[in-house]
Amino acid sequence: MIIEVKDLVTEFKTSRGILKALDRVSLNVNKGEFVGIVGESGCGKSTLAYSIMRLIRKPGRIVSGSIIFEGKDLLKLSEEEMRKIRGKDIGMVFQDPMTSLDPLERIGDQFVEMLTEHGVDEEEAEEIAKKSLENVGLPAEMFHNYPHQLSGGQRQRVVIAMAVAMNPKLLIADEPTTALDVIVQEKIMDLLEELKKGERSILLITHDFSLAAERSDKIAVMYAGWIVEYGDAERVVSEPLHPYSAGLISSVPDLWLDREIKPLPGSPPDLVNPPEGCRFRDRCPKAMEICKKEPVTVSVGDRIVKCWLYGEGNVES
C-alpha cells in the first residue's frame, strides 16, 4: 500500500457556516495503481488532493483522520517535513499549469530551483531538468523558454515533467487535461500511463468518467464529500453498485454506444447544510425509507459501497 487515507474530514469556514468538503473519506491506493477519482463539480475531489498534499489553506482546515504514506501519518508531520515530501515523494499536477509556473521566469530556472530545494546540486539539476523535458516529449531547449512561449499542452507537459522529475512514488493529477484539446489530452494521458510503470501510483482526478474508465485500474466515485463507491474500474463501469455511479455512467455519451443516454437530474446538495441520511437520496431512483439514515459503508466482493441497497453486512468503516 502506498497511501492509506482514513476517515478524513476537511472543512471550510464560509459566511453561511461550516462547509464539510470531505466527510470521513477513506481511500487506499496500492503501489503501481492508477486510480481515477470521479464525481460532479463540488463533490470534494480537489479538496481530497489538496488535503493529501497538506495544501489546504484558510479558511479551510483538515479536522480529523489520517493519511498514512509509507507508514507515516502526513497529518502529524511538521510543515518542514511535509515540504520535503511534496514534489519529492508525492508530486502534484494542478489543473491550471499557470498555478505552478511563474510567467516571469524561464522554465529551466524554475525547474532547477525546484530541484535544488530538494537537495539536488545545481549542475545535476540542469541535467535532470533537460532529461525530464525530453522524457515528456519536449525538446531540451525549452529549458531556456518562458512559459508564455509554449502552447497550453506544452506547458502542461512541463508541469508534469516537474512533478515527476524527482521520481515521486505517488503522482496526483487534478484535471490535468481539462483545458486541452482531445489529441493533446490523449498524449498527456499516455504520458501518465507510461509513468505508472516503475511502481509509481497515480491519482487522476477528473469529472470525465469515460477518461477515468479508459485509463484507471480502479475508480473512486465521490458524491457530496463522501466516497460512495470504490473498486475495479472495469467492474464499476460495467456493473455499478451505487445508484449515483450508475446515474453518472448512463449520462456519459462516450461510454455506451448501445445504451440510452440519460442525463442525471438534479444537482449535489449544499455542503453547509447537507440533507440528513443519504446525501444522494433526493436524486436517487432507488431511495427507500431507510435512506433517511446515513448509509454504512460495506464491502460487496472487492467493492466498497456506501448505500443501503447492500444492507448492513461486512461493515468496512
Ligand X SMILES: Nc1ncnc2c1ncn2[C@@H]1O[C@H](COP(=O)(O)OP(=O)(O)OP(=O)(O)O)[C@@H](O)[C@H]1O
List binders of ligand X among 223-242 (CB under 6 A). Answer: none
Per DSSP, the three-state class of 11 is strand
Q: Which of 3, 8, 21, 237 binds ligand X (CB under 6 A)?
A: 21
Per the structure block, which three cell numbers stand in for 27? 481511500
Name the segment binding ligand X (CB under 6 A); options: 40-48, 132-140, 233-241, 245-253.
40-48
45 binds ligand X (CB under 6 A): yes
By a kind-dependent CB cut-off of 5 to 8 A, residue 44 interacts, out of Ni ion, ligand X, none, with ligand X
By a kind-dependent CB cut-off of 5 to 8 A, residue 78 interacts, out of ligand X, Ni ion, none, with none
| Beta carbon of residue 223, minimum distance to ligand X (angstroms, whole number) | 10
| Beta carbon of residue 45, minimum distance to Ni ion (angstroms, whole number) | 5
| Helix (H), strand (E) at residue 236 | helix 233-238
Give how far Cα 8 sits from Cα of 79, 115, 136, 154, Å: 19, 31, 34, 35
List binders of ligand X among 128-187 (CB under 6 A). Answer: none
Are 36 and 44 contacting, i.e. CB atoms less than 8 angstroms apart? no
DSSP state letters, 45-73:
HHHHHHHHTT---TTEEEEEEEEEETTEE
46 binds Ni ion (CB under 5 A): yes
**CA dist., res. 230 & res. 240, Å (int):** 10
Q: Which of 8, 29, 43, 192 binds ligand X (CB under 6 A)?
A: 43
| Beta carbon of residue 268, minimum distance to Ni ion (angstroms, whole number) | 13
Rounded to 5 degrees, φ, ψ at 72 are -110, 140
Q: Which of 16, 41, 71, 198 binds ligand X (CB under 6 A)?
A: 41
| Beta carbon of residue 12, minimum distance to ligand X (angstroms, whole number) | 3
3-state helix, strand, coil in the chain (%, to 5): 35, 25, 40
207 binds ligand X (CB under 6 A): yes
| Helix (H), strand (E) at residue 152 | helix 152-164
Q: Which of 211, 271, 304, 305 binds ligand X (CB under 6 A)?
A: 271
Running DSSP on this structure, what letter comes out for residue 312?
A: S
Residues that bind ligand X in the complex, under the rule CB under 6 A: 12, 14, 19, 21, 39, 41-47, 59-60, 207, 271
